């Protein structure tokens, strides 16, 4: 019988603390400024290829700034936003025309009321299939490309995340994951969480054999 895992969840980590900056140090700094409602960073747009960590960073910034976070691929935008609040919108390219019009109105509301908007997409604003006025607004503020992490940076990120889950991940274990698992951070973080839960249920440490069992269950 599988042992029950006691709910001993560690406190939520400080936002951005489990993300190795790599070449994105300035972007991470500005996301912190946005979350703190700094006047020079009220409007930020970040873009990059799938798997580089855009959603992770938007969630971290929203948590730090107590912002309203919406994934446009999964949920509609709120009908109203506080004029002095913070709104984070992931996957803006997924907005339909009505959603784009709503985001355009929210931008104007936030701009007039001292609030802020953080948005993300796969390409710079002007290269997305958005209403021209909305694309222009998204490009008014700070625009950053989130650059992929090197394997060394991903190893650091994995070890930090594992430590926050409550266990140590050896360098060779991180290298094994990078060789055999999906390489995007979201997938890697999910694997670490799964490994940690399985190890806790067995009252054992996270080992290389346990990682192999999760990645190749039929061969285990």
Domain span at residue 205? 151-215
Which residue from 155, 169, 161, 194 is spatially nearest to 15, judged by alpha carbons? Answer: 161
pLDDT digits (tens, 9 = 90+) for 123-140: 999 999 999 999 999 999
DSSP for 145-199, written as a single string:
E-PPPPHHHHHHHHHHHHHHHTS---HHHHHHHHHHS--SHHHHHHHHHHHHHHH
Query: Do residues 97 and 134 share a domain?
Result: yes
Which residue from 78, 82, 72, 75 is spatially nearest to 119, judged by alpha carbons? Answer: 72
Q: Which residues contact 194 (CB under 8 A, 6 or more apart)?
A: 214
Q: Show which of 96, 120, 145 is a domain's final residue.
A: 145
Q: Give domain status of residue 180, yes or no.
A: yes
Domain count, the chain: 2
Query: Do residues 155 and 141 share a domain?
Result: no
pLDDT digits (tens, 9 = 90+) for 195-205: 999 999 999 99
pLDDT digits (tens, 9 = 90+) for 77-112: 999 999 999 999 999 999 999 999 999 999 999 999
Residue 15: is its pLDDT beyond 80? no
Q: Is the pTM of this model over 0.85?
A: no
């Amino acid at each position: 019988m599988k042992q029950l895992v006691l709910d001993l969840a560690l406190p939520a980590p400080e936002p951005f603390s489990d993300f190795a900056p790599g070449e994105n140090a300035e972007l991470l700094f500005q996301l912190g400024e946005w979350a703190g409602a700094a006047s020079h960073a009220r409007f930020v747009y970040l873009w990059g290829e799938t798997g580089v960590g855009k959603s992770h960073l938007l969630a971290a910034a929203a948590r730090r700034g107590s912002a309203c976070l919406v994934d446009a691929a999964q949920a509609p935008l709120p009908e109203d936003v506080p004029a002095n609040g913070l709104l984070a919108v992931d996957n803006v390219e997924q907005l339909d025309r009505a959603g784009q019009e709503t985001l355009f109105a929210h931008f104007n509301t936030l701009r007039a009321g001292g609030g802020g908007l953080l948005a993300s997409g796969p390409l710079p604003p002007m290269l997305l299939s958005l209403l021209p006025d909305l694309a222009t607004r998204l490009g008014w503020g700070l625009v950053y490309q989130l650059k992929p992490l090197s394997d060394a940076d991903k190893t650091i990120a994995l070890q930090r995340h594992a430590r926050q889950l409550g266990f140590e991940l050896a360098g060779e274990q991180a290298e094994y994951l990078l060789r055999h698992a999906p390489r995007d951070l979201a997938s890697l973080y999910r694997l670490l969480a799964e490994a940690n839960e399985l190890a806790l249920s067995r009252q054992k440490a996270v080992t290389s054999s346990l990682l192999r069992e999760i990645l190749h269950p039929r061969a285990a």
